[in-house]
A and B are shown apart, each in its own frame.
Chain A
Amino acid sequence: MLEEVIQSLRTDRRFMSSVAHWEVIPPRKGRYEDFPAEIDGRILAAVRAKGIERLFSHQGQAYAEVRRGNNIVVVTPTASGKTLAYNLPVLQTLIEQPQAKAMYMFPTKALSQDQQSELNEILLGGEIPVRIFTYDGDTPRSIRISVREEGRVVITNPDMLHTGVLPNHTKWIKFFQSLRFIVIDEIHTYRGVFGSHMTNLIRRLKRICAFYGAKPQFICCSATIGNPQGLAEKIVEEPVTLIAENGAPAGERHFVFYNPPLVDAVQGIRRGVVKESQRLATNLLKAKVKTIVFARSRLRSELIAGYIRESLKNLYTDDSRITVASYRGGYLPNERRKIERGLRSGEIQGVVSTNALELGIDIGGLDASILAGFPGTIASTWQQAGRAGRRASVSLSILVASASPIDQYILRHPEYFFGSSPESGWVDPDNIYILSDQLKCAVFELPFDEAEELAQSYREVLDYLEEHGVIRYTEGKWFWSDRSYPAEKVSLRSSAPGNIVIVDTTQGRQTVIGEMDKPSAKLLLYDEAIYIHQGDQYIVKKLDLENQRCYVEDTADNYYTDSIVKTDIKVLEQDSRETLSGMDAVIGDILVRTQATKFKKLKFGTHENIGYGEIDLPPEEMHTRSVVLLFVAGSDAGRAFARQSELEQPIIMQRLGTLIRNIAPVFLLCDPRDLGVSERLKDTVFHCPALYVYDNYPGGTGLSEGFLENAVAILRGALELVTECSCAQGCPSCIGPVGAETMGAAAAGSEEAARNRLGNPKESIRAFLASWLGKTE
């Protein structure tokens, strides 16, 4: 089926004229091992009942390493049977040792539920005496006691471990005493600030296990990233054996880079990503190809799904029986489960998703994936593309480029994408904000003894906490000495809890149809906004932020809405200003304000603008820490900047921002998303060119301070990167791809002309940095 479709695409001249690159990744044969002889007959029967007769080599290897007592990290693509790689050794051990327990940790609740049903399948199939429970915020109080007392495998998430389990560990004695395995799935999600919290959380977990005399083994799984072993070892702080050789077979994969056709060749305007992705997906679905489309926002996922349904509706053939769902955050759990089941069973043939389906939720095998725009990282791109493709058959992935410079760069330079390794994940468990918060939680759970290794490493921090009276030092021990419950005030993630509940009030109904986090609600659920949910349109009657409710009603309007968002930065407090490396650096508090003030009404189909509306909502404010780099007139940096032509100065500022965003995470051990960067050619507070680098977390997490501390190294690193990057005029890895300035600054003349006038931006920025930093050598 798909083979034929691929053949016909190959010969479709119209399609091929838009194809920038067509990569064929050859099929890979599976490498197999027999089940180890020792495996319990009941497990074997259950696994065989699922049609599994042999193990893939990586599953066999994982089994052997775990049974040998080693920590492991398994890194193989989606659908390669990672789950069995850990379920097999865990269940075998749990059967052999009737007391042994295991904890499974997943980054989201959705994944936990998925895992529970997967495990139940194995367990219900046979007669394996192992009780599995999920323990998270949704677990009813009435069964929590049995989870603690009887659970052999407890599935949870880091947030629940942090606020619910560890602070109450005395209720879990039985569990911790005999905890043998800790499974951390999707370990690649624990990067940056979240990952730094995670490392500390694992430290706390290990302390509690040690208290009860247990020393569990770690089994980690990761999607493809640059440094899986490094990241796993950073998070569990023990040696970890890497298992990266994928033994699962894979069919041939066709990866097509598709650039929508030009609509206006002079201005370089192309057809939109939404319409093109919809068109491609519709054609695939009509040809009976099961397809997943990844959209870059919730709104887009609903739009694309709606368009696909619309274009299928007009068919008076069998094709109209094709069911297409949208899938994104904010759906109620039941609705999500239903879609996942539908995809597995084949009742649903197409799905349009945000990155919510990027992680390992089991949706069965799909044939094709369409990426509506570059997902932002190489790792995500592979992960999303990997959602299509079964073991034995051919698969197709199409990356539909948007007009953004990064998308266009990747299309022009496929070798960049296929040649680079995926991004690495960094963590900095010693980040002082995170560390001090986490140590409070640790002392709460168990007093620190001077002899303890952690106490010795972080004695200064403990002293510091003691000075502030939350812990008390006597006779060689630190005791929790505050009335509060510290875990409650420490959030592992940036987004604060507390969702807005969306209520359908059409004709007096009071039905909850979905939910959304507060910052997003302000941008998507303002009064009169059109909210699209699984293809149904609603108009927002009232967003009640105080009571966390949004009331909507059915509507049949022919438009959707999109808000216009403004972000501005206000300097609240300057703590210090110092001169270093020929520039001035200010550190202090800023207020980052994001506000939607207006919205556009856009006609479905044509996307033409048919009106505006006002939004009257308070801005979303984040009070955080920032470091501001100032190129003051007369300083080395200022003089180097003044030397550049006035035309180039704005470009240099903008490019420097991208460059810093690319290089700083390497020095700060954070994730690029943990940092905000904002450039000002003429700053109104400091009256000179200024570059703001700030913590993307309320209150700050010490990244700004870290930046200041490492400023010289970071700037030198930036110069080195821009000098050594192998691209010609800029690429996503250094200063950003060419095209960025022609988009923003000069619409006059063609792309080409603008570039000629401006010269090579990479050269300009290199010259600027060299002339500045050269002076301060």
Chain B
Amino acid sequence: MSLEKRLRYLERAWQQRLEQQQGQPEGRDARRDTVPRSEHLFAPQQGWEQVGRYTLRRQLQFPSSLAKTGISEFLLPSGYTSEDLLFFDTETTGLSGGAGNSIFLMGMAWIEGDGLNVEQVFLQDFPGEVEFLSRLAERLNRHRVFVSYNGRAFDAHVLRTRFVLNRMSFDLEHQTDLLYWSRRLWRRVLPDCSLATIEREILGIRRELDVAGFEVPGIYLEYLRSGSPGRLDAVLEHNLQDVRTLAELLIVVNSILSAGNTIPAAEAGATEAGAAAPSHRADRTALGSFFLSRDERWGIDLLKESFSAGDDGAGRALSLYYKRAGAWEEAVDLWKRMALKRRSLFAAVELAKYFEHRERNAALALEWVQTILSWRLPLDRRIRVELNHRRRRLMKKLGRRVSKS
């Protein structure tokens, strides 16, 4: 069968599939030859300049307190300065990974003077990718710490793929992904940790003209097809705000991390005017655990405070820290409080283990096992089996000792 005839059949099948799916055949204006036109959108008044056949760029300045902020070593490792920071965010033609997903817009921000400089680079059509990437590289090469939101899992991979595909070399030296910090600080406080939620709840930023992330690829691809910009202006705005938000977010995260044990108590926060004062909403238990993991002793204070405020998780984290450190007295004391006042299964089990293996006091250990059973908690099967096993073993130990004596 000739290729032409095969294509005719395929065409027919395609039309039918489309009709079934959408009720009408797709328009035929999806043709080549349409050079994307959007002069007014990328007008010089908006700051845009043509920097390659298919590449546009603009730089904008914004005031920012970042320049004057001393940045915590957790966010900016020693050996780097705040001039090394580059905030970046990509807009892509697809939302999954893979070699077919291209970047068409990159927003980058850095400290310059006492403000924040933002550069956006826009790719007008695919053949311009090499010059587009060269423009990015010019900026990327001047920085060493790359700050993003979910960039470790997404943007960095896409960037790397684009450079590889165009046989260009590229490396992000050090990455700071603010998604990780947001999750640590606010996961238990906020409904989700999307950048939009963080902006609204923590930073108090309201967006005027915005698009949802999942709409972005469609808007650009439609612009390529039809040549008319559609809602591309909103995408440019969206990307600009994203990088500015990154800088703001870094300031907030930094203030929380730098405050250490001087973070004002939660109760005090409620009296302040802005109820959303970010540091007061941070998950103090998570923060405390983090500090402890870095051997910062003030984590203990944070955990103690959280525990008194009713967070069993904090007690758990703190007791495990004591246990690891061999501070048995503190650990046992905490467990007893948790077990007696709050019927903490975890604490009671830890006590049973402690008395059986460390104190070698089977009777006390057994007492704790019996206590747990007397609570009549709905236990899951694995734990029930373990408990019964422990109980039998302890009884046996006791029985033997009794018979010997």
What residues of B have a CB within 8 angstroms of the CB of A171 in the complex?
157, 161
Q: Is the CB of A483 within 8 A of B221?
A: yes
Is B217 an interface position by the 8 A CB rule? yes
Flag whether A568 is at the interface (Cβ < 8 A). no
Q: Are the CB atoms of A472 and B126 closer together than 8 Å?
A: yes
Residue in A closest to B94 when the chains form the complex, CB atoms: A483
Known: A474-B126, A477-B126. A461 touches B99 (CB 8 A): no
Task: Give the residue name and chain of the B residue nearest to A479 (CB).
Answer: B126
Partner of B1, one of A173, A474, A481, A705: A705
CB < 8 Å neighbour of B95 from A167, A483, A575, A589: A483
- Cβ–Cβ < 8 Å partners of B7 in chain A: 432, 460-461, 464
Cα distance A168–B126 in the bound complex, in angstroms: 19
Contact among A431, A445, A468 for B99, CB-based, below 8 A: A445
Q: Do A483 and B218 have beta carbons less than 8 Å apart?
A: yes
Tell me which of B1, B13, B127, B225 has the highest count of chain A C-beta atoms within 10 A of its own C-beta.
Answer: B1
Q: Give the interface SS of chain A, mostly helix, strand, loop or mixed.
A: mixed
- Total interface residues on B, CB under 8 Å, equals 40
For A573, list chain B residues within 8 Å (CB): 16
In the bound assembly, the distance between CA atoms of A467 and B26 in angstroms comes to 10
B104-135 interface with A by 8 A CB criterion: 125-127
Shortest CB-to-CB span from B108 to chain A, Å, is: 22
Partner of A464, one of B10, B31, B160, B161: B10
Contact pick for A173, options B12, B95, B127, B164, CB 8 Å? B164
Q: Is the CB of A480 within 8 A of B100?
A: yes
Summarize B's interface: helix, strand, loop or mixed.
Answer: helix
| Residues on the A chain within 8 Å of B31, using CB | 467
Chain B, Cβ-Cβ closest to A473: B32
Contacts of A168 in B (CB 8 A): 97-99
A474 near B100 (CB under 8 angstroms)? no
In angstroms, how far is the closest chain A Cβ from the Cβ of B161?
A: 4
In the bound complex, do residue B98 and residue A167 qualify as a contact, i.e. CB atoms below 8 Å apart? yes
Interface centre among B13, B28, B160, by most chain A C-beta atoms within 10 angstroms, is B13
List B214-259 residues whose CB lies under 8 Å from chain A: 217-218, 221, 224-225
**CB of B5 closer than 8 Å to a CB of A:** yes
From known contacts A469-B26, A573-B16, infer whether A710 and B1 are also in contact, taking CB-CB under 8 Å.
yes
Bound CA–CA A436/B8 (angstroms):
13
Judged by a CB distance under 8 angstroms, whether B404 is at the interface is no
User: Can you list 8 A-B pairs, Cβ within 8 angstroms, ordered by A?
Assistant: A446-B99, A468-B30, A473-B32, A474-B126, A477-B126, A479-B126, A481-B93, A589-B16
In this assembly, does A443 line the interface, its C-beta being within 8 Å of a C-beta of chain B? yes
Within 8 A of B (CB), among A701-732: 702, 705-706, 709-710
For A477, list chain B residues within 8 Å (CB): 126-127
Contact between A430 and B94, CB atoms less than 8 A apart: no
CB-CB under 8 A from B26, the residues of chain A are 468-469
Chain B residues 1 to 51 lying within 8 A of chain A, measured CB to CB, are 1, 3-7, 9-14, 16, 26, 28, 30-32
Which single residue of chain B is at the shortest CB-CB distance from A428?
B1
- Of all chain B residues, the one with the shortest Cβ separation from A464 is B7
The complex places the Cα of A467 from the Cα of B224 at a distance, in Å, of 13
Q: Which residue of B lies closest to A461 (CB)?
A: B7
Residues of A in contact with B (beta carbons under 8 Å apart): 167-171, 173, 430-433, 436, 443-447, 458, 460-461, 464, 466-469, 472-475, 477, 479-486, 488, 573, 575, 589, 625, 700, 702, 705-706, 709-710
Q: Using known A-B contacts A477-B126, A485-B100, A625-B13, determine if residue A170 contacts B161 with beta carbons closer than 8 Å.
A: yes
Which of A460, A480, A710 is B3 in contact with, Cβ under 8 Å?
A460
Contacts known (A443-B100, A461-B3, A483-B217); A432 close to B165, Cβ less than 8 A: no
CB-CB under 8 A from A436, the residues of chain B are 10
Distance (Å) between the CB of A39 and the closest chain B CB? 37
Cross-chain contact A484 with B165 (CB below 8 angstroms): no
Tell whether B96 is near chain A: CB-to-CB under 8 Å.
Answer: yes
Distance to closest chain B CB from A347 (angstroms) = 32
How far apart are the CA atoms of A481 and B32 in the complex, in Å? 12
B100 touches A486 (CB 8 A): yes
Question: Which A residues lie within 8 Å of B99 (CB)?
Answer: 167-170, 444-446
Which of B1, B160, B225 contacts A469, CB < 8 Å? B225
CB within 8 Å for A485 and B96 given contacts A170-B160, A461-B7: yes
Q: Is the CB of A483 within 8 A of B98?
A: no
A700 is contacted by which of B13, B32, B224 (Cβ under 8 Å)?
A: B13
Q: Are B160 and A466 in contact (CB under 8 A)?
A: no
> How distant is the Cα of A469 from the Cα of B96 in the complex, in angstroms?
19
Pair A447/B126 contact, Cβ less than 8 Å: yes
Shortest A529–chain B CB gap in Å is 29
Structural contact, B127 and A430, CB atoms closer than 8 A = no
Q: Chain A contacts of B125 at CB under 8 A? A: 472, 474
B168 CB → nearest A CB, Å: 12
Chain A residue numbers with a CB within 8 Å of B160 are 170
**Residues of chain B from 76 to 98 with CB closer than 8 A to chain A in the complex:** 93-98
CA distance in complex: A468, B29 (Å): 10
**A485-B165 in contact (CB<8A):** no
Report the minimum CB–CB distance from B9 to chain A (whole Å). 4
Residues of A within 8 A of B161 (CB): 170-171
Contacts of A466 in B (CB 8 A): 32
The answer to whether A481 and B221 touch across the interface, beta carbons within 8 angstroms, is yes
Query: Which one of A170, A467, A705 lies within 8 Å of B6 (CB-CB)?
Result: A705
Contacts of A474 in B (CB 8 A): 32, 125-127
Q: Determine the chain B residues whose CB is within 8 A of the CB of A461 once the complex forms.
A: 3, 7
B30–A702 CB distance below 8 A: no
When chains A and B are docked, how far (Å) is the Cα of A458 from the Cα of B96? Answer: 27
CB-CB < 8 A to B157: which residues of A? 171
Residue of A nearest to B157 (CB): A171
A430 close to B126 (CB less than 8 A): no
How many angstroms from the CA of A467 to the CA of B29 in the assembled complex? Answer: 9
Residue of B nearest to A482 (CB): B221
- Shortest Cβ distance from residue A664 to the other chain B in the assembled complex, whole angstroms: 13
How far, in Å, is A201 (CB) from chain B's closest CB? 15
Closest B residue to A169 by beta carbon equals B99
Best-buried of A170, A446, A573 by chain B (most CB within 10 Å): A170
Instruction: Assess whether A432 is in contact with B98, with CB atoms less than 8 Å apart.
Output: no
Closest chain B CB from A769 CB (angstroms): 23
Q: Tell me, in angstroms, the Cα distance from A136 to B9 when the chains sit together.
A: 35
Closest Cβ of chain A: how far from B152's Cβ, in Å?
Answer: 13
The CA of A483 and the CA of B10, in the complex, are separated in Å by 22
Question: Restricting to B249-271, which residues have a CB under 8 Å from any CB of A?
Answer: none
With A432-B10, A709-B5 given, can you name 7 additional A-B contacts, CB distance below 8 Å? Answer: A461-B7, A467-B28, A472-B125, A477-B126, A483-B218, A484-B94, A486-B100
Complex-state Cα separation, A3 to B125, whole angstroms: 76
Residues on B with beta carbons closer than 8 Å to the beta carbon of A710: 1
How long is the Cα–Cα vector from A243 to B215 in the complex, in angstroms? 56
Q: Which residues of B in the span 48-86 have a Cβ within 8 Å of any Cβ on A?
A: none
* Residue contact A446 to B93, C-beta cutoff 8 Å: no
If A432-B10, A468-B26, A481-B224 touch, whether A170 touches B164 (CB-CB below 8 Å) is yes
Chain B 151-170: CB-based contact to A (< 8 A → 1; otherwise 0): 00000010011001100000
A689 to B214, CA, bound (A): 53
What residue of chain B has the Cβ atom nearest to residue A443's Cβ? B100
Are A702 and B6 in contact, CB atoms less than 8 angstroms apart? Answer: yes
Residues of A within 8 A of B9 (CB): 432, 702, 705
Closest to B163 in A: A170
Q: Which 5 A-B pairs have the closest CB atoms?
A: A444-B100, A432-B6, A480-B100, A469-B30, A483-B217
Residues of A within 8 A of B4 (CB): 460
For A479, the chain B residues whose CB sits under 8 A away are: 102, 126
Given contacts A443-B100, A460-B4, A480-B100, contact A433 B10 (CB under 8 A): yes
Bound CA–CA A436/B217 (angstroms): 23
Interface centre among B3, B16, B217 (most CB of A within 10 A): B3
A432 and B5 CA atoms in complex are apart in Å by 10
Q: Please name all residues of chain A whose beta carbon is closer than 8 Å to the beta carbon of B14 when the two chains form the complex.
A: 468
Q: Is the CB of B100 within 8 A of A167?
A: yes
- Complex alpha-carbon distance, A461 and B9, angstroms: 12
CA of A661 to CA of B125 in the docked complex: distance in angstroms?
50
How far is it, in angstroms, between the C-alpha of A318 and the C-alpha of B5 when the chains are bound?
69
Inter-chain contact B98/A709, CB cutoff 8 Å: no
